[in-house]
Structure 1
Amino acid sequence: MNGLGSKCGCNRNGRRLWALLAGVLLLSLFGCAGAGQSPEASAEKGILDLRDRSFQTEGVLPLSGEWSFVWYAQGHTEPIYSTIDVPKLWSGVRLEDGTKLSSQGRGVYRLTILHERYDGMLAIRLPNISTAYTLYVNGVHKLSLGQAGSGPDSTRPYQLPSTVYFDGSTGRTELELIVSNFDHRNGGVRTDLIVGTDRQIENLDFSRQSQEMVVFGCLTMIGFYHLGLFALRRRETANLYFALMCFFVSSRMGVIGDGLFFHWIPSLTWTAGTRIEYTSFALSALFGFAYYSRTFFQEIGKRWVWLSRIAGIVLVACCWTVPVLQVSAMIVIYQIYVLLLSARTLAGLVLALYRKREGARLALFGVAGLVVTIVNDIFFYNGWWRSLDLAAFGLLFLILLNSFSISLRFSRTFVRSEQMSSELKEWNNLLEEKIAERTEQLTRSYAELEESKGRLERMELSRRQLVSNISHDLRTPITLLQGYLEAIRDGVIHDPNKLDSAIRLMLTKVQGLNSLIQDLFDLSLLEARRAPMAFAPIRLADWLRRLAEEYEPELKEKGIAFSASGGGDHLETSFVRIDEHQMDRVLANLIYNSLKHTPRGGSIALTVTAEAGLQSAKVQVADTGSGIHPDDLPHIFERFYPNDTTRRASSGGSGLGLSIAKEIVEMHGGRLTAENADAGGSVLTIQLPLLPDGR
């Protein structure tokens, strides 16, 4: 019966897992589909009319549509005047007079934007443009990346997303974008230029850069994690291959998109970055294939492994010996190589699934998701459709499933260990009197299984301790990571135990950094008033009773007297319209901050008052603690306020808790203030508008 129950439980958990993964995949597909939707306004004959559109209320807008275009072909001095669709690579495009554009040449894009007068600065975010450009706004030179010359000798390529700012008070903006390409197989503008207010574009920049930093950091740290596993157990070469795949995907990500490597290494040239991109593209596919060929070696033959290695070495050698222009023209060979390895991996995983290999189903699902993103990137970089670079996200999806696979493997091993332990006990009792020799063998087997069980329990305890450490240590994570990585690189750490300790500490700091970034995401959404809210009316008296039931037992156990009381004559008939989950987050922040600064034996008072005359509700959290220093009072709601005595949020000490609480309250149309009580301690007050006429 126990075995049957375990199987049923595993089947139910398996069905839930597949439902979850299917939902993630569908959301990803819908997200990709949404990325290619048509813009709400489009340029015609070089004019984009936005006069009936407000940047402040409607947000950013892509500068897409029909731009004026002047083409200077390589080796020709006579310009050709026409129009061209943006975004679009110009290779193969036919102009109005029938001229078919080549990949190499020089083009001048012009666009007139008619917009409302805006008393402030507007901004344009420019993507990677192949492969050098100069931008003029209203005849004023604003930006040059590389040198947009008229020929190969006078052109210096360089690509990096950038932002330019200009005065929006004129109501008319003239853009002139000069683009030269003599170094790559594709020239022109692949993705949209985005216009908006300076704050909107800065938020967009921050969002995209943060997203890339998070993905890059995750891939790099997961790579180091698997590299550490390989260092501890050299026979598991699959861990080494997986680590190298993560490193090369993150390396490719560092030279495309927002160009993290170009920001970190200003001396890095476009040529070197392009060679790194192509090398990483080929080697990430090679080591990914090596990982699965090692994991499912019975389904993927050694001949394929050797062929993939030889082809990968040849492609990398070509990338660093052949001029970049020719290498970029050979991209189809790189793409065929990646697709062939992906197809062979999928075929091997299908066969492994048919043979019921452990972990084959999750691996197949993850690789299929990664292959979808690879195909998306191939179409995107060939200019066949408008999308986003998704390969790094596909790899994160694969890593997620790989983590599920490892967890399931441990879980099944633990279940099998318990079942075998129970069976061995029964057999030992039955055979003890009859066969002494068999009893001795069974006893030894039982001891070995108990030892395995103990090891699994110790591993689980170690994992819990790691999670606990991650939640408490977020100081200087980057400095610590750099120090340990340099120590590993320089060979300072030789002892395996010390190496394992260093790797675990690095992982702890990365998780802390991710938590800090998540708080920043939340705060950015709240500040932009884009955080989702589920508002519903709630009676003040009911809310007060629930809060009292929730916090009173815990605070009493900690030696703090807690009181929850109501004020005013209309508490039972007064309602506020709030998102209970978000407001509970605010109150938890305030109460736990008070608890942190209130000594044992002190008190915390929660008071809810309905002020009918003012049509507002007042929620106060008062304590008898140390209070807030008068110099800190004006600043406690600022993010990362540096005074260590300032009260921090209870969610990990990121320095953002009170800032987030303030933004949540303001999204409810309320106000959050702080003051010191005359008798000592602090008082934090939330004021919220009452719903008129009850509900």
Structure 2
Amino acid sequence: MIRNTFAILWVAVIVLFGSMLFYYLEFSIVNSVRKKDSPSAVYDLSDFNFDKNNVVALSGGAYFYKDTLLNPADSAFEALTPTGYSIISKKWNHFLGDSKLSVGHGYGTFAFKIRVPKPGMYAIKANDIKSSYKIFINGTDMGGSGVVGKSAETMKPSRYQMEYYFYAATKTIDVLIQVSNFQNRKGGLTGLIHFGSSRAIALQKTKQVGIELFIVGSLFILFIYHLVLYAFRRRDKSTLYFSMLCLIMFLRLGYIGEKIFLDTFSFLGWYVSLKTEYISFFGIPVFTALFLRELFPKELSKQVVKATTITSIGFVVLILSLSPTAFSYLPIISLFPFGILAVYLLAVIFIAMLRGREFAKPMFVGFFVYFLLSLHDALYYAKIINSVNLMPLGLFVATFSQAYVLARKSSSAYLRAEKLSDKLSEYAHNLEDIVRSRTKEIESQKHELEHNAKALKENNKELVRLVNFKQNMTNMMIHDLKAPLNSIVGFAELSADNNEYSKYILNSGWEMENLIQNILDVDRYESTEFKTNKTETNLHKLVNYAYENVYFIITGNKIDFINQVPADIDMSIDKHAIYRLFTNIFSNAVKYGGKNITLKVDAEMVSDESGDYIKISIYNSGNSIAPDKINRVFNQYDSNSDELKDLSYSSGIGLTFCKLAVDAHGGSIDVESGKNKGVTFWFTIPL
């Protein structure tokens, strides 16, 4: 359906383009009468049928009188000898090399005659006469465009396209045209002169203006539409570049052809209108390249677009800074680079079309037509051919092809959006079914989870009850064991001096009591926070006291005990916890260090980023700890049955308590050992 609509639209555009092209060619070629070069400068149209609204393009010759502004009332006019024989629509620059006319500046008068089949109402239309003129028909001043003068100061340039209607009482019409130019590189009768019945000329004017108004209005609407489109969707810059291209074409078309903007914007004046025409000429390549770059980024080089932009900006700067005579050469200078650019862009679109790029075909058709008609107009402006300005038609086709592409892009986006919307609706409908199904599953799972949660709650209660029971039983057993153990240790101490076996009983009892106390403390402090009860304590005395309490368990071991802790160190610590720490480390050293060892305790002040500490080192020269076990000495219940065989160091639960005690004080604890280097336990307590 959409393709059929676009096909109908293309057919309508082709018909409209063909109609306008036929109209242009109808009065520019079919009715063009070339007068052979003749000294008489007479156009014999006595056999021409003016009743069919035909228009004749006078492209023959005329007498030219250099450096004089002749008036039909001058008595010497008939006796004057013409300077030369000029061709209408040709510039006068070539006439005399020793004159200012060689650069197009100067003034003069053109004269020719027209023979008609009968008297009646006729009209003459003057096109593109540089830069001001005044016309006399059969001796009557018909007016002109601008003010004719003999210098740049006395003349006033103008660009209006004028028609002059008159009644011819005889079959011969005398035409005299005064021309002056001091602003353009070329001067004289640089455009065609159309002649016909007053009705035919008026009809031609109406048709020409109507076509240009149609194209100009279309360009302005496209400019506004795509600019608004870009405002709502700025990610797609092709709409912005196309809107700017439409604006540039809108301005240019208004100042060429019938120059309809001269009346609409008459307040701008001749100078501004001329610069606007030239600047718009150099704006078209820039926005055309930028637009095509957005459509075919893989085919159109970014460097080419950049070079085109820089070149065009350079030309615009020259137009703004130079005089009209100087910058009127710029279009001719730019024909070569912009001609190459046009061929390159056509090649880019053609390659994109061969590669199957979307929208390449309509773009190629539009730009190919525009390229051909632009080439035609370039030849026309260079006065190589006599024709009319066909660029408006080229602009129309090129603009329509670009608008067609953007419309297709927009419609494709809308179609994709509609398809996505349909899919979303379908997904939404399916989602409702999925949600209902999942809701049922979740409700079922919820009931199951509630059932499991209830069971877990009951199991948790049972586990808590068992843990509490275990805790209570442990505490009860430990406390019940401590009473008989205290009795055993007490009686063993009474007979230890007289009985060797009593010493072993005393040693074993003390170790069992210490083990029970470690189990009780570790169990309590792992379950709750270890809260220290700090008091001011002399560290040297605490070390001696701890050693004295383990000394009696030594049975035949030779221990050299050295307390190097300074006697003046008093610290705020939990005396009971640190005492237990020393006793545990001392007892391990005595039990597993060997028969003859040195036990040395030292203390020093250390500092780091976190503050000041007392570092206490406990060294024994006995057996070292195996390397594979040194990292596990502070793990709870970490001991091995073969530790005496491989001379490893047993930690047990006592060292676990040591770590808890040091952590509670905010310090750290570690052990160092090596082969034949003994064992050193060290810990820090912050000041």
Structure-1-length-normalised TM-score: 0.53
Assess if the C-alpha contact under 8 Å between 1:282 and 1:338 holds in 2: no
Q: Which residue of 2 aligns with 1:501?
A: none
Q: How does 1:57-456 map to 2 (within 5 A)?
A: 57=52, 59-72=54-67, 81-92=83-94, 102-119=103-120, 121-409=121-409
Assess if the C-alpha contact under 8 Å between 1:67 and 1:84 holds in 2: yes
Assess if the C-alpha contact under 8 Å between 2:149 and 2:156 holds in 1: yes
Go from structure 1 to structure 2 and tell me whether the alpha carbon gap of 1:206 and 1:150 turns closer, same or farther (over 3 Å shift). same
Q: Distance in 2 between matches of 1:409 and 1:211?
A: 28
Q: Which residue of 1 aligns with 2:614?
A: none
Assess if the C-alpha contact under 8 Å between 1:350 and 1:364 holds in 2: yes
User: Helix, strand or coil for the counterpart of 1:130?
Assistant: coil
Q: Distance in 2 between matches of 1:127 and 1:220?
A: 26
Q: How does 1:661-676 map to 2 (within 5 A)?
A: none
Task: Decide which moves more: 146-155 or 372-381.
Answer: 146-155
Q: Distance in 2 between matches of 1:317 and 1:365?
A: 33
Tell me by how many angstroms 1:426 deviates: 12
Assess if the C-alpha contact under 8 Å between 1:289 and 1:342 holds in 2: no
User: Helix, strand or coil for the counterpart of 1:269?
Assistant: helix
Residues 271-303 of structure 1: CA deviation (Å, up to 9, x unaligned): 222111110111122112111112222222222
Go from structure 1 to structure 2 and tell me whether the alpha carbon gap of 1:294 and 1:80 turns closer, same or farther (over 3 Å shift). same
Q: Considering only aligned residues, what root-mean-square deviation do their CA atoms show, in Å? A: 4.0
Residues 449-480 of structure 1: CA deviation (Å, up to 9, x unaligned): xxxxxxxxxxxxxxxxxxxxxxxxxxxxxxxx
Q: Distance in 2 between matches of 1:372 and 1:111?
A: 35
User: Helix, strand or coil for the counterpart of 1:112?
Assistant: strand
Instruction: List alignment gaps of at least 5 residues for structure 2.
Output: 70-79, 439-687
Tell me by how many angstroms 1:108 deviates: 1.6
Q: How does 1:605-644 map to 2 (within 5 A)?
A: none
Tell me by how many angstroms 1:83 deviates: 1.8
Q: Distance in 1 between matches of 2:20 and 2:260?
A: 24
User: Helix, strand or coil for the counterpart of 1:231?
Assistant: helix
Tell me by how many angstroms 1:72 deviates: 3.4
User: Helix, strand or coil for the counterpart of 1:154?
Assistant: coil
Tell me by how many angstroms 1:372 deviates: 1.7
Task: Decide which moves more: 388-397 or 332-341.
Answer: 332-341
Q: Distance in 1 between matches of 2:317 and 2:329?
A: 15
Go from structure 1 to structure 2 and tell me whether the alpha carbon gap of 1:257 and 1:391 turns closer, same or farther (over 3 Å shift). same
Q: Which residue of 2 aligns with 1:36?
A: 29
Structure whose CA Rg is larger: 2
Assess if the C-alpha contact under 8 Å between 1:65 and 1:85 holds in 2: yes
Q: Distance in 1 between matches of 2:318 and 2:34?
A: 44
Structure-2-length-normalised TM-score: 0.54
Go from structure 1 to structure 2 and tell me whether the alpha carbon gap of 1:299 and 1:66 turns closer, same or farther (over 3 Å shift). same
Instruction: List alignment gaps of at least 5 residues for structure 1.
Output: 1-5, 441-695
Assess if the C-alpha contact under 8 Å between 1:73 and 1:104 holds in 2: no
Tell me by how many angstroms 1:391 deviates: 2.4
Identity %: 23
Q: Distance in 2 between matches of 1:155 and 1:188?
A: 14
Q: Distance in 2 between matches of 1:318 and 1:184?
A: 15
Go from structure 1 to structure 2 and tell me whether the alpha carbon gap of 1:412 and 1:232 turns closer, same or farther (over 3 Å shift). closer
User: Helix, strand or coil for the counterpart of 1:88?
Assistant: coil
Go from structure 1 to structure 2 and tell me whether the alpha carbon gap of 1:53 and 1:373 turns closer, same or farther (over 3 Å shift). closer
Go from structure 1 to structure 2 and tell me whether the alpha carbon gap of 1:51 and 1:369 turns closer, same or farther (over 3 Å shift). closer
Tell me by how many angstroms 1:220 deviates: 0.9
Q: Distance in 1 between matches of 2:14 and 2:201?
A: 34
- Aligned-partner residue type, residue 91 of structure 1: N
User: Helix, strand or coil for the counterpart of 1:188?
Assistant: coil
- Aligned-partner residue type, residue 104 of structure 1: H
Residues 336-387 of structure 1: CA deviation (Å, up to 9, x unaligned): 3432432332232223223221111111221112222222221121111122
User: Helix, strand or coil for the counterpart of 2:148?
Assistant: coil
Q: Distance in 1 between matches of 2:262 and 2:410?
A: 42
Q: Distance in 2 between matches of 1:272 and 1:41?
A: 36
Q: Distance in 1 between matches of 2:374 and 2:128?
A: 19
- Aligned-partner residue type, residue 312 of structure 1: S
Tell me by how many angstroms 1:175 deviates: 0.8
Q: How does 1:553-632 map to 2 (within 5 A)?
A: none
Q: Distance in 1 between matches of 2:34 and 2:266?
A: 37
Q: Distance in 2 between matches of 1:257 and 1:428?
A: 59
Q: Which residue of 2 aligns with 1:48?
A: 43
Tell me by how many angstroms 1:165 deviates: 2.5
Tell me by how many angstroms 1:14 deviates: 9.4
Tell me by how many angstroms 1:88 deviates: 2.4
Residues 380-404 of structure 1: CA deviation (Å, up to 9, x unaligned): 2111112222223212212322343
Assess if the C-alpha contact under 8 Å between 1:25 and 1:369 holds in 2: no
User: Helix, strand or coil for the counterpart of 2:32?
Assistant: coil
- Aligned-partner residue type, residue 140 of structure 1: T
Go from structure 1 to structure 2 and tell me whether the alpha carbon gap of 1:28 and 1:343 turns closer, same or farther (over 3 Å shift). farther
- Aligned-partner residue type, residue 51 of structure 1: S
Tell me by how many angstroms 1:93 deviates: 6.2
Tell me by how many angstroms 1:13 deviates: 9.4
User: Helix, strand or coil for the counterpart of 2:254?
Assistant: helix
Q: Distance in 2 between matches of 1:221 and 1:425?
A: 36
- Aligned-partner residue type, residue 114 of structure 1: R
Q: Distance in 2 between matches of 1:101 and 1:231?
A: 52
User: Helix, strand or coil for the counterpart of 1:108?
Assistant: strand
Tell me by how many angstroms 1:263 deviates: 0.6
Assess if the C-alpha contact under 8 Å between 2:285 and 2:308 holds in 1: no
User: Helix, strand or coil for the counterpart of 1:48?
Assistant: strand
Tell me by how many angstroms 1:27 deviates: 7.2
Go from structure 1 to structure 2 and tell me whether the alpha carbon gap of 1:317 and 1:346 turns closer, same or farther (over 3 Å shift). same
Tell me by how many angstroms 1:415 deviates: 7.5
User: Helix, strand or coil for the counterpart of 1:84?
Assistant: strand
- Aligned-partner residue type, residue 109 of structure 1: F
Tell me by how many angstroms 1:177 deviates: 0.6
User: Helix, strand or coil for the counterpart of 2:83?
Assistant: strand
Residues 180-236 of structure 1: CA deviation (Å, up to 9, x unaligned): 222112222233222233333222222222222121111111111111111111222
Q: Which residue of 1 aligns with 2:526?
A: none
Q: Distance in 2 between matches of 1:305 and 1:419?
A: 36
User: Helix, strand or coil for the counterpart of 1:387?
Assistant: coil
Aligned pair count?
422
Q: Distance in 2 between matches of 1:322 and 1:53?
A: 47
Tell me by how many angstroms 1:18 deviates: 8.4
Assess if the C-alpha contact under 8 Å between 2:66 and 2:107 holds in 1: yes
Assess if the C-alpha contact under 8 Å between 1:114 and 1:171 holds in 2: yes
Assess if the C-alpha contact under 8 Å between 2:17 and 2:397 holds in 1: no
Assess if the C-alpha contact under 8 Å between 2:135 and 2:144 holds in 1: yes
Residues 669-695 of structure 1: CA deviation (Å, up to 9, x unaligned): xxxxxxxxxxxxxxxxxxxxxxxxxxx
